């Protein structure tokens, strides 16, 4: 975080003559960008605000990034890269429960505002939308899918379940409350979704147990 990241690797060979880039300023700018998204909305996330908070100059920002959005995108990449790893204990229920609880904790914290800001900004800026997809959504989905695939192959998720849709079923409710704001994001929701998602994933499984190999998706008589 301090002035430790000076000359690194063998970039010294391709270094020009003049004063080198201030890596510390780079870090401060990215951190300021994220902090602004965490506190206020995108509307207040101006280039001046970043510069002021980072103790840097606007000229410095525009020397290294083509525009304001690029700063936010790089900041998102650096801060969310390692977040929310899907648990893989072998216990499907516990994996899901843990993950959804962590997700709630993430969304109710500072990161929730960051995501809302990116979702909002993505509507008018395709590059921001693509960045949010590629840097946040897709990596999480890929990792989630990897774990769920193992559970499915182990028979703990019914084989006819479309995992992509199942992942939407898992995370969708939380994004809905995040952007809808009709109800708060609580651990209770995480528990409820865990129960329901697990029932959905194992339903046909428990049915195929009692008899027909044909996976009949029979429902209790609609008329009571």
Interface positions with its own copies (CB under 8 A): 41-43, 90-93, 116-117, 119-124, 129, 132-133, 137-138, 141, 154-156, 161-162, 164-166, 168-169, 171-177, 179-183, 188-189, 192-193, 195-207, 209, 217, 219-220, 222-224
CB contact set of 186 (below 8 Å; sequence gap of 6+): 104
Which pair of structure tokens corresponds to residue 162? Answer: 């479309």
Residue 81 or residue 137: which is nearer to its own copies going by CB? 137
Which pair of structure tokens corresponds to residue 152? Answer: 């499915």
Residues making contact with DNA (CB under 7 A): 6, 12, 15-22, 25-26, 43-48, 51, 55-60, 62-64, 67-68
Residue 56 or residue 170: which is nearer to its own copies going by CB? 170
Residue 102 binds which entry of DNA, its own copies, none, CB below 5-8 Å type-dependent: none
Residue 81 or residue 196: which is nearer to its own copies going by CB? 196
Which pair of structure tokens corresponds to residue 12? Answer: 């010294």
Residue 145 binds which entry of its own copies, DNA, none, CB below 5-8 Å type-dependent: none
CB contact set of 117 (below 8 Å; sequence gap of 6+): 37, 41, 42, 45
Q: Which of 122, 135, 118, 125 is nearest to 178 (CA)?
A: 118
Angle at 6 between CA 21 and CA 4, to 5 degrees: 130
Would you give the DSSP letter of residue 124?
T
Residue 91 binds which entry of DNA, its own copies, none, CB below 5-8 Å type-dependent: its own copies
Residue 91 or residue 149: which is nearer to its own copies going by CB? 91
Residue 67 or residue 206: which is nearer to DNA going by CB? 67
Q: Alpha helix locations (H) across the chain?
A: 23-39, 47-54, 58-64, 68-80, 92-108, 110-122, 126-132, 138-153, 163-180, 187-209
Residue 223 binds which entry of DNA, its own copies, none, CB below 5-8 Å type-dependent: its own copies
Residue 137 binds which entry of DNA, its own copies, none, CB below 5-8 Å type-dependent: its own copies
Residues 177/184, Cβ–Cβ less than 8 Å: yes
């Amino acid at each position: 975080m301090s002035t430790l990241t000076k000359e690194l690797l063998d970039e010294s060979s391709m270094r020009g003559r003049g004063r080198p880039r201030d890596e510390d300023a780079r870090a401060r700018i990215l951190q300021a960008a994220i902090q602004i998204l965490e506190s206020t909305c995108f509307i207040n996330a101006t280039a001046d605000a970043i510069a002021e908070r980072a103790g840097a100059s606007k000229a410095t920002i525009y020397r290294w990034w083509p525009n304001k959005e690029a700063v936010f995108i790089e900041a998102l990449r650096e801060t969310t890269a390692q977040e929310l790893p899907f648990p893989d204990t072998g216990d499907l229920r516990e994996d899901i429960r843990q993950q959804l609880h962590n997700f709630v904790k993430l969304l109710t914290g500072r990161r929730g505002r960051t995501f809302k800001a990116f979702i909002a900004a993505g509507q008018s800026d395709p590059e921001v939308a693509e960045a949010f997809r590629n840097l946040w959504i897709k990596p999480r989905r890929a990792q989630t899918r990897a774990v769920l695939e193992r559970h499915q192959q182990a028979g703990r998720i019914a084989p006819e379940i479309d995992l992509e849709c199942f992942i939407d079923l898992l995370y969708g409710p939380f994004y809905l409350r995040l952007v809808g704001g009709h109800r708060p994001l609580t651990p209770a929701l995480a528990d409820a979704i865990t129960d329901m998602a697990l029932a959905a994933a194992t339903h046909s499984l428990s049915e195929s147990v009692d008899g027909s190999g044909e996976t009949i998706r029979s429902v209790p008589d609609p008329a009571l």
